[in-house]
Amino acid sequence: MKKDSVIYLTGSGIPDARPLKPYSDEACSFLAALSDLLSRHRNPPDVATLAFFCRRANIARLKSDFSSPDVRLGRGTVFHIAPSNIPINFAFSLVFGLLSGNSNVVRVPSKAWPQVDIVCGAINSLLERPEFSEFAHRIAMVRYERDDDVTRFFSERCDARIVWGGDETVRRIRSIPIPPRAVEVSFADRYSFCVISEESVMKLDNVAVARLANNFYNDTYLVDQNACSSPSLIMWLTGPRRAPGARERFWSAVWLRACEYDLAPIHAVDKYTELCCCLSRVDDVESVVRHGNLIYRLKLASLNGVEGLCGKFGFFFEYESDNIDVIASHVTSKWQTLTYFGVEKPEISRFVADNFLRGIDRIVPVGSALDISVMWDGFDIVRTLSRIVEIK
């Protein structure tokens, strides 16, 4: 590996401290201090979200939920490969590695996101404190352009590897071996959707509709729909009593919220190009509604091939039915998150249990699609990144 091809934003070399217990006092104190520093930043909003996640009370709650009779320790050193399109993801991946009791090498996005500078600056400030000096041997944040030799260098020296990215990224990284005893967790392309009850929307007053629209905006526009948990498909539940005005009421509120969205000209062109491509290749488009450049809505007559229809920058597909079960036969292992509004939890539970679904790992209310935690894509990340010491 050419050393000059790697920029160390924090730390240096391969961190290799002794493994700690999951949710060790040392890691919890470090993350609480990191939360205090990051909470001074109101923008970008995802930095504030990270600070809120790392606050002492939340980590204590996660620790309480984790409680296990087993003796566990971190696996050693975790090599994290973060995605380039979700700027704060690298930091959450580091948090999971620390909570698991591991040392960590984190490849941050090569793009110069301000989130990277803010988080790495805060970490470097903490490493200067005597009580956190040990974490200089637990954290290395690195930046390098796509280079399989560098990735191989870190991969050969890790005890676990986490890969966040699309299917092609995962396939390419998997071609680079890790040690025989090392474990790997890959978070590849996934598909997510949203279910909304028409009747429930019509029962809302104007303030509540605006709140619902804001929550939906946060799930989608804040990350340009790039997150695997951001919905592309909106399934409208019509119910026994039709509420034809529900959709227009909802989308009008979303449009008002989206007026603050910074749609770059190149993204507007990309979105319009994708609209033309969809109209030429998808046979089941029933109608198209555009709210200026901010919202594109394609109503589908069927769900055939819906998994391949992924929108970005405010591009949504819609389907209506009076029965949520009609979507079950289309759910594969690539389906990740279901967000919902106006559907009772028992009905959601019945839908999952009765249809023996191969996919859908998360079911959360609208507004919580991006709420990452230690349970993700069906993995308990802290348990996966730690090992059990059996004692008989």
Give dist(CA 303, CA 323) in Å, integer. 13
324 in Cβ contact with 344 (< 8 Å): no
Separation CA 100–CA 118 (nearest Å): 23
| Predicted confidence band of residue 22 (pLDDT cuts 50, 70, 90) | very high
Is it the case that residue 130 has pLDDT exceeding 60?
yes
The parent domain of residue 180 ranges over: 3-189+377-389
pLDDT, tens only, 136-171: 999 999 999 999 999 999 999 999 999 998 889 999
The answer to which of 25-34, 76-85, 187-196, 237-246 has the lowest mean pLDDT is 237-246
> CA-CA distance, 66 to 378, in Å (whole number)?
16
Query: CB-based burial of residue 229 (10 Å sphere; 0-12 exposed, 13-18 middle, 19+ buried)?
Result: buried
Name the pTM for this structure. Answer: 0.90
Query: Exposure of 43 by Cβ count < 10 A (0-12 exposed, 13-18 middle, 19+ buried)?
Result: exposed
Q: How many domains does the chain have?
A: 2
Domain presence at residue 370: no
Question: Between vectors from CA 8 to CA 153 and to CA 118, what angle results, nearest 5°?
Answer: 135
Question: Is the domain of 72 the same as that of 27?
Answer: yes
Instruction: Answer whether 307's CB lies under 8 Å from 330's CB.
Output: yes
- Whether 305 maps to a domain, the answer reads yes
**Does 336 fall in a domain?**
yes
Pair (140, 238) in one structural domain: no
Q: What is the pLDDT of residue 16?
A: 82
> What pLDDT shows up at residue 1?
53
> Which CATH number does the domain housing residue 342 bear?
3.40.309.10
- Partner residues linked to 319 by β-bridges: 235
Whether residue 371 is contained in a domain is answered as no
| 349 C-beta neighbours (distance < 10 Å), count | 11
Cα 57 to Cα 28, 51, 52, 126, 200: the distances in Å are 10, 12, 9, 20, 34
Is the residue at 18 inside a domain? yes
pLDDT at 13 over 80: yes
Instruction: Decide: 253 and 208 in contact? Cβ < 8 Å.
Output: no
Residue-wise pLDDT tens digits, 225-284: 998 999 999 999 997 777 778 999 999 999 999 999 999 999 999 999 999 999 988 888
Q: d(Cα 360, Cα 338) in Å, to the nearest integer?
A: 7
Asked if residue 235 is part of any domain, the answer here is yes
How many Å from the N-terminal Cα to the C-terminal Cα in the chain? 44
pLDDT at 314: 96
